[in-house]
Structure 1
């Protein structure tokens, strides 16, 4: 048996079943249901086209949730499973789904006690959609089956036909890995998930990014200043959070025409920084400039000002500047 489940067989599971199935308390979705999904590790339950109309699902482990009364089934696929896709409809495309399906005659009408990797066929349509799945069924992949597809007509182009629908789960308290679909709600305040670029924390109402990935915004320089001073690029800024403290980061460089004479009384910006990017108090930082070290004043008004001594030439660098915004 290469597809097996824990807590399913009426006569009990074997010791090998117990060792292979992902037993334990998994991430909840409600008071008594668990978040079903694939258990991360390698590339579990990966789909690969192996013939014109055949797809192979690799080994892996997962949790399949049934009804609330039914509970969840830990499942292990211990050897690759090869499935045959039915021929395409004569007129329309359809979308089939590769699933992990638990059959439990105590809760369904199958009169079986089994678990399988199988294909649920979708309806052929001018605008096809994946099939609706029953309880105790976990979607892994969608397969677009073109009209007329068959082994005799060349079959399925697997590179474009397969759509990854694996979503992931984790043990209770673990971080849920990034998978297909981020539109699920958290189950309890303090739950974490990987959003693909960082971590989100569920606050009871919404997912809140811990340290969101924030892009850079170019400033508008005052008259007399140009970007790329000392070949350091355009002056840009971004607001980030470090250990719960808001910071502003700067990068790039500025230049001006006349050595020793900084334009506009040193005020760099024609348009000051937005309110949430201004420090609570005047913040002064040493920066590099042509000829000497000078000072950058980050003002509460949102203006950035260069303060220099004699000897400065025609450029100043802002790369690496970072300062807190809180009091």
Structure 2
């Protein structure tokens, strides 16, 4: 059956129907899959050593994604689970992983359907790495197990051995909380996540997470031939935060002793920094030591992004973009 409904038919709803249909849908990771992860709230699945070789995992809720055909499994741990770590290898250290795992006889070799917290043991090597995850498993914690570790020699140093690997998920349209690892793509244009200090928005066009409100950071401006940085002040640059564009820096002729002529185009702004219509600002140079009258001109930003000078009183040797701000919409 390829078209399914849930809570519709009086009889015959399967477990797959329930998992695959979008009731209580979580953050998507594809057309028919959900982003698996821990559901935030308090300290879900908190880990604490309770004996030299035992760790306790606290209560919590999560989503565990199986194959596309399986769908996503909602899981709840309603009482703390205590797990025992196998003694360390005599020669090499290893890394074990605590996981939330789904066993489903319809899709794997298990004999009964179960959801459980378990330890997947890593391979002892000179440079140990966490074990690979089986299908339908969500990594919660990694545990460093030194060579020769056992209860008889003091066991595991829980203060340093536990590495938090909980990743988080949220309902569709919600902001994904910061968890372990940020190297995952968004699923749709306009999805949001918390990176631990600020919001980010997924841009499908750019294929990356972007700060929100969008912040380009200061970017250098490319000047037309014959113009450059006059050697004082800051080089010309632009920055966009959301719809607000800021300019800064000084621009002058590259030829010593030259002035900027009336009607000169000195640069073209990039597409993302152009105002919707014309933008004008006035520029007045400070008096120099000779007490010469200041140069006064107007500068126009045209819709195509060209920045042009006009209406001069005394031709300037340089102009400043400092303090110029406008919005692009």
Question: Which residue pairs with 2:120 in the alignment?
Answer: 120
Whole-angstrom distance in 1 between the partners of 2:32 and 2:213: 31
Whole-angstrom distance in 2 between the partners of 1:128 and 1:135: 22
Question: Which residue pairs with 2:71 in the alignment?
Answer: 71
What is the CA distance between 1:63 and its match in structure 2?
0.3
Q: Is 2:192–2:199's contact at 8 Å kept on the other side of the alignment?
A: no
State the secondary structure of the residue aligned to 1:156: coil
Q: Alignment partner for residue 211 of structure 1, among 210, 213, 225?
A: 213
Question: Which residue pairs with 1:201 in the alignment?
Answer: 202
Question: Which residue pairs with 1:43 in the alignment?
Answer: 43
What is the CA distance between 1:131 and its match in structure 2?
0.8
Q: How many residues align?
A: 258
TM-score by length of 1: 0.65
What is the CA distance between 1:72 and its match in structure 2?
1.1
Question: Which residue pairs with 1:144 in the alignment?
Answer: 144
Whole-angstrom distance in 2 between the partners of 1:30 and 1:87: 40
User: Cα–Cα, structure 1 residues 278 and 102, in superposed 2: closer, same or farther, change >3 Å?
Assistant: closer
What is the CA distance between 1:194 and its match in structure 2?
2.0
Question: Which residue pairs with 1:129 in the alignment?
Answer: 129
Structure 2's unaligned 5+ residue stretches are 1-13, 220-228, 250-266, 284-296, 300-306, 309-317
Question: Which residue pairs with 2:61 in the alignment?
Answer: 61
User: Cα–Cα, structure 1 residues 192 and 206, in superposed 2: closer, same or farther, change >3 Å?
Assistant: same
Q: Is 1:246–1:325's contact at 8 Å kept on the other side of the alignment?
A: yes
Question: Please, which moves more after superposition, 87-96 or 178-187?
Answer: 178-187
What is the CA distance between 1:238 and its match in structure 2?
7.9
User: Cα–Cα, structure 1 residues 184 and 110, in superposed 2: closer, same or farther, change >3 Å?
Assistant: same
Question: Which residue pairs with 1:255 in the alignment?
Answer: none
Whole-angstrom distance in 2 between the partners of 1:201 and 1:151: 47
What is the CA distance between 1:90 and its match in structure 2?
0.5
TM-score by length of 2: 0.64
Deviating 4+ runs (over 4 angstroms):
212-217, 220-223, 273-282, 297-301, 303-306
1:324 partnered with 2:326: yes
Question: Which residue pairs with 2:105 in the alignment?
Answer: 105
What is the CA distance between 1:305 and its match in structure 2?
5.0
Whole-angstrom distance in 1 between the partners of 2:230 and 2:177: 42
Whole-angstrom distance in 1 between the partners of 2:273 and 2:30: 42
Structure 1's unaligned 5+ residue stretches are 1-11, 226-236, 251-272, 286-296, 307-317
1:176-325 map, 5 Å? 176-196=176-196, 197-203=198-204, 206-209=207-210, 210-212=212-214, 239-242=239-242, 244-248=243-247, 281=279, 283=281, 305=320, 323-324=325-326
